[in-house]
């Protein structure tokens, strides 16, 4: 298990538990009682910590190095995944994975941001920050889904689109804008789940969906807390204050009507059990496909359009209105 600073108190207890288990095995002594006591303490500590997380602590969890990534979730949720590569223009961007898969016996298209495991893989995946070729690959696969009438499932997990000179030269903003435009017109069901970081237009380029959900400890924001603090507060060390102001947690997004629901994670976060996380995601996808499957193509398109046109209409700064005024 890898730990982040937030988890240090839990790490100390769990390391002690591991030591007692090794001691019990090596010395052939019964330490079950002591181990149970420490496990109870760890459980209680996790429960207390995770009921009072700050927005910035949630941000740290959304970036956990062992948080389930897109390929791991596809493996846990789907069978017969066939990854499709390239944008047919420039090259294949490994920061976005896309392809065909079978979900509960039905063919679907799956697309998602892909972060790496470890330094070498993260460099290869560009830390989950797509270039325009990644978005054009995603759009190519979404257009294919439209032609064959296949539902689209997207996973969002990116700090944002890559801001490098080459990406800008090749039309980063145009690629993102075109994805947003085309996704709003598709006549197949689209389901989006923010599984880690949902950063800016780099996230929204895969997020114009009929149903949008977030894992409990994911974030969804126009900018990272560090970026916001650097620009507005002139000091990146104010990231914690910026995170609170950005209202980037799943609870904030649900309260504002930005997402449809929060998908619960296992105690301690999704990295604790990908099986439990995938089971909760699976249940939500099944429910969404059943609901959206009753709508015609034009109805799906209109549903998606109205969903996003309604965002930002508020009453007293709190309640999201149900109709465009």
Burial of 184 (0-12, 13-18, 19+ CB in 10 A): middle
Hey, where are the domains in the chain?
5-49, 59-320
- Kindly give the pairing relationship between strand 319-320 and strand 190-199: unpaired
What is the pLDDT confidence band of residue 315, given thresholds at 50, 70 and 90?
Answer: low
β-strands 79-83, 314-315 pairing: unpaired
- Length, in residues, of the chain: 325
CA angle 217, 12, 218 (to 5 degrees): 5
Cα–Cα distance measured from residue 132 to residue 134, given in angstroms and rounded to the nearest whole number: 5
Name the CATH superfamily, with its identifier, for domain 59-320.
2-enoyl-CoA Hydratase; Chain A, domain 1 (3.90.226.10)
The interaxial angle of helices 225-232 and 239-246, nearest 10 deg, is: 100
- Asked if the model's pLDDT at residue 46 lies above 90, the reply is no
Range 172-190 average pLDDT = 96
CA atoms within 13 A on the CB side of 207: 26
Burial 103-113 (b: 16+ CB within 10 A, else e): beeeebbbbbb
Q: What is the pLDDT of residues 89-112, one digit of tens each?
A: 899 999 999 999 999 999 999 999
**Angstrom distance (rounded) from CA 114 to CA 92:** 13
pLDDT in tens, 49-67: 888 899 999 999 999 999 9
Q: What is the mean pLDDT of residues 134-162?
A: 96
Taking residue 289's Cβ as centre, other Cβ atoms within 10 Å add up to 18
Contact between 187 and 146 (Cβ < 8 Å): yes
With a cut of 70, say whether residue 228 has pLDDT above it. Answer: yes
Token pair for residue 98? 């896309």
d(Cα 54, Cα 165) in Å, to the nearest integer?
35
Per-residue H/E/C for 11-36: HHHHHHHHHHHHHHHHHCCCCHHHHH
Question: What average pLDDT does the segment 109-126 reach?
Answer: 95
Both structure tokens of 130: 């797509």
Q: For tokens 């889904």, what's the residue? A: 145
- At 265-303, the pLDDT tens digits run 998 899 989 999 999 999 999 999 999 999 999 999 999
């Amino acid at each position: 298990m890898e730990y982040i600073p937030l988890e240090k108190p839990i790490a100390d207890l769990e390391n002690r538990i591991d030591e007692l288990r090794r001691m019990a095995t090596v010395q052939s002594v019964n330490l079950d009682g002591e181990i149970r006591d420490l496990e109870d303490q760890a459980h209680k500590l996790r429960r207390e910590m995770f009921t009072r997380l700050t927005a910035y602590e949630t941000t740290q969890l959304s970036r956990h190095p062992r948080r389930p990534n897109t390929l791991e979730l596809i493996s846990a949720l789907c069978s017969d995944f066939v990854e499709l590569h390239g944008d047919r223009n420039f090259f294949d961007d490994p920061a976005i994975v896309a392809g065909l898969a079978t979900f509960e016996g039905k063919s679907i298209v799956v697309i998602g941001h892909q972060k790496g495991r470890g330094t070498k893989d993260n460099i290869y995946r560009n830390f989950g920050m797509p270039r325009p070729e990644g978005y054009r690959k995603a759009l190519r696969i979404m257009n294919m889904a439209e032609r064959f009438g296949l539902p689209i499932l997207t996973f969002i997990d990116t700090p944002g689109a890559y801001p490098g000179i080459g990406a800008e030269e090749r039309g980063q903003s145009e690629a993102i804008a075109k994805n947003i435009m085309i996704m709003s017109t598709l006549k197949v069901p689209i389901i989006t789940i923010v599984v880690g970081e949902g950063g800016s237009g780099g996230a929204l380029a895969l997020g114009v969906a009929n149903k949008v959900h977030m894992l409990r400890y994911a974030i969804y924001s126009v900018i990272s807390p560090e970026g916001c603090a650097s620009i507005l507060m002139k000091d990146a060390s104010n990231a914690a204050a910026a995170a609170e102001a950005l209202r980037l947690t799943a609870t904030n997004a649900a309260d504002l009507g930005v997402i449809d629901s929060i998908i619960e994670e296992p105690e301690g976060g999704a990295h604790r059990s990908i099986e439990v996380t995938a089971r909760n995601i699976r249940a939500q996808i099944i429910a969404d496909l059943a609901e959206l499957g009753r709508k015609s193509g034009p109805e799906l398109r209109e549903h998606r359009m109205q969903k996003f046109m309604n965002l930002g209409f508020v009453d007293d700064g709190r309640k999201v209105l149900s109709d465009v005024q």
